[in-house]
Chain A
Amino acid sequence: MKKFIAMLLALVMALSLVACGGQSGDADNNDNSASGDKVVKIGIFEPTSGQNAAGGKKEILGIEYANSIKPTVTIGGEEYTVQLITADNASDAAKAPTAAQTLISQGVSVVIGTYGSGCAIAAGDLFKEAQIPAIGTSCTNPQVTLDNDFYFRVSYIDPFQGAVMANFANKEKGSVNCALIIESGDDYSAGFGNYFQQEMERLGGKATVLEFQKGETDFSTIMASVKSAGYDGIFAPVSIETAAMIISQARDAGITCPIMAGDTWDDISIAQRTGDKATDIFFSAFFDADDTTNEAGKAFVEGFKAWVAEDNTRIENNGGTAEAISSVTPCGYDAYMAAVYAIEAAGSTDGVAIRDALVSLNVPGLITGDLSFDENGDAVKTYAVIKTIKDGEIVYYSTYNG
């Protein structure tokens, strides 16, 4: 009797699997027929779980919003519908190649992403071998595009960002003896920290490295060292999740010096989680939503807020509010636009043709500024915003233009 039931259960499960498979196949067919079989696939390579999930989801929102603005491309006089395919790299360099492989096997023409340099570096060679161009959103480590003809990037890079923050710390905040808190083994954290340190030393200051391990939650020992050694500034290029813990544990330990970081910290959840402990926080960012001189940016801010407010899932992915705009969201938007313009310029969905189009691409007036790529495939950027946290909100502090 028991065996019979077991067999029956197994049979039911097997059948339900077959049924599911059949249904999803139908769904695909419907999709294709609705759009007249003309589809170009763009892969989204982003973390939707793990420590960078909050950032990854905000970039995906930017990409999806851009897709809602420009859902089709024209190739050779014919309209193609853009189909977005998402693969989760789980914020983990070990899992990133699998996600990249998923996108490659689905036959995407271009890949957009990712948040977090470690995952971009881990997957870069796969895209190169498959001859699929990838457009990095906010992965700022130079190694992402270096020696890789197929990786491009719309954001500024860490040597620039590191220099901006070191100058800011040294000259504006008078932090000449900084503690540099970095996550060991993380490409973004170590790389960015290193450029900060170099520039700091060039300016005659000092930055001492204090390392912690991935997944660490207790920073009280590091804070004890910071307090005991009397550093006058903390520079912590770390993930959003870690940021909130570093800020609150530093302030709890009675450390009052400025805490500085890079682009990752432009995320409202840090302000939400740290509450009134978020004082004297400064970080560089790609974009300022309140900048009235940026025409494209203004239109984006209005359109994006309304688009997010339409849907509860979007609001949740945007950090529980439709009002805040993280500066990685425009990076997602710009990367999508770059991809679409490149496909149109190439007049083809072939990876090599799109790559060639990207090399000579020149798009004026995108949200984070005019877009063209240098010989490494990096966007030519000389502009950064420095933001701070005030009364639980992220606000503009100063602009760096050099």
Chain B
Amino acid sequence: MHDAAYFIQLLLSGVTVGSLYALIAIGYTMVYGILRLINFAHGDIFMMAGFFMVYISATCSLAISIPLVLILTVVLGVLIEKAAYKPLRTAPRMSVMISAIGVSYLLQNLATYITGGIARAYPDITFLTKVMQVGGLSIKRITIITPILTIVLVAILVVLIQKTKIGMAMRAVSRDFETSQLMGIKINSVISMTFVIGSFLAGVASILYFANYGQVSPMIGAMPGLKAFVAAVFGGIGSIPGAVIGAFIIGICESFIKANENIAVFSNAFTFALLIIILLCKPNGLFGEKLTEKV
């Protein structure tokens, strides 16, 4: 009963949502790769970036506020690492994770306190939100820009990790934390760099996400954060291409499930069921490396 345009529309919105999940998922997967820490505050950094934009764009033009938002988001991410994770570097892994949950709640409640709990309108970035007519389809520019930008950013990131010195240091640290420290790698600057990259991508994702949906509220980071986390685990946590592919698969599947009236209510359940299944059948995810514990 549906025409081809309908399915293309579904596919497009799935790819867009998937690429947003991908940008967030990279932050999860990189931090996990290096610190073996699931940074639960990542979704809230994404939310805070949204609020930075709301407040900054009230006084500045977009040309100033977009870079400023990205810088502030990066600063926030690094600050969180310095304040909440670094002092716990020698503590058991569980303590750091609980600290991350604490930061997540702190950010959510801080945002609720400052905004009074009301959703704020996101500034209209007309360059992104303009609607184009292609055939029988109405497509927002953002729908096309998001996946392309994501792929470009991921390509740059892969080059950074494979070809540069800091990238080599990152790979070394993710292999063996202590040995790389012994080899003279400045572990703190590598970790800071990880948070810089993760937060930067979360900042980019937040601009694309909120420009598309038009408003920011204090709790909005939780769901995309969780979905991105599932994507990271699905693709094999620690693996960047894995996170991206996992995110695309989840985005597209969700889109088709939500379009079917009969099973639409299960769209979130599907994502989390997928998490359980992948953990049961392939605990290391699609592209995860199998680590052999050395005695």
* Residues of A that sit less than 8 Å from B by CB: 48-51, 53-54, 57, 184, 208-213, 215, 217-218, 220-222, 224-225, 227-229, 241, 244-245, 248, 252-254, 269, 272-275, 316-317
Q: Cβ of B217 and Cβ of A220 under 8 Å apart?
A: no
Chain B residues, CB < 8 A from A253:
9, 138
Query: Nearest 3 A-B pairs (CB), nearest first?
Result: A49-B117, A254-B138, A220-B13
Chain B residues, CB < 8 A from A221:
9-10, 13-14, 255-256, 258-259
Q: Cβ of B9 and Cβ of A241 under 8 Å apart?
A: no
25 A-B contacts, Cβ less than 8 Å apart?
A48-B117, A49-B218, A54-B119, A57-B116, A211-B261, A211-B265, A213-B265, A213-B267, A215-B223, A218-B258, A220-B16, A221-B255, A221-B259, A222-B258, A222-B259, A224-B6, A225-B6, A228-B6, A229-B2, A244-B121, A252-B138, A254-B133, A254-B138, A269-B121, A273-B215
Give chain B nearest CB distance to A116 CB in angstroms: 13
Beyond A48-B116, A210-B261, whether A217 also contacts B219 by CB under 8 A is: no
Q: Cβ of A220 and Cβ of B9 under 8 Å apart?
A: yes
- Bitwise interface map of B from 8 to 21 toward A, beta carbon under 8 Å scored 1, else 0: 01100110110000
What 19 new A-B contacts, CB under 8 Å, besides A48-B116, A217-B220, A227-B6?
A53-B118, A53-B119, A57-B116, A211-B264, A212-B264, A213-B267, A220-B13, A221-B9, A221-B10, A221-B13, A221-B256, A222-B258, A222-B259, A224-B13, A228-B2, A228-B6, A252-B138, A253-B138, A273-B214
Chain B, residue nearest A245 (CB): B213
- Please measure, in the bound complex, the distance between the C-alpha atom of A222 and the C-alpha atom of B6, giving whole angstroms: 11
CB within 8 Å of A: which B257-290 residues:
258-259, 261, 264-265, 267-268
Which of B3, B121, B140, B219 contacts A252, CB < 8 Å? B140
Which of B116, B220, B265 contacts A317, CB < 8 Å? B116
Chain B residues, CB < 8 A from A316:
116
Chain B, residue nearest A49 (CB): B117
Q: Is the interface of A mostly helix, strand, loop or mixed?
A: helix
- Please measure, in the bound complex, the distance between the C-alpha atom of A275 and the C-alpha atom of B122, giving whole angstroms: 12
Beyond A53-B117, A213-B265, whether A225 also contacts B259 by CB under 8 A is: yes
- Please measure, in the bound complex, the distance between the C-alpha atom of A299 and the C-alpha atom of B218, giving whole angstroms: 37
Give chain B nearest CB distance to A293 CB in angstroms: 33
Chain A, residue nearest B213 (CB): A217
Chain B, residue nearest A213 (CB): B268
B112 at the interface (CB under 8 A from A): yes
Beyond A53-B117, A254-B138, whether A218 also contacts B13 by CB under 8 A is: yes
Beyond A213-B268, A241-B217, whether A57 also contacts B9 by CB under 8 A is: no
- Please measure, in the bound complex, the distance between the C-alpha atom of A57 and the C-alpha atom of B124, giving whole angstroms: 26
Chain B residues, CB < 8 A from A184:
264-265
B131 at the interface (CB under 8 A from A): yes
- Please measure, in the bound complex, the distance between the C-alpha atom of A273 and the C-alpha atom of B119, giving whole angstroms: 10
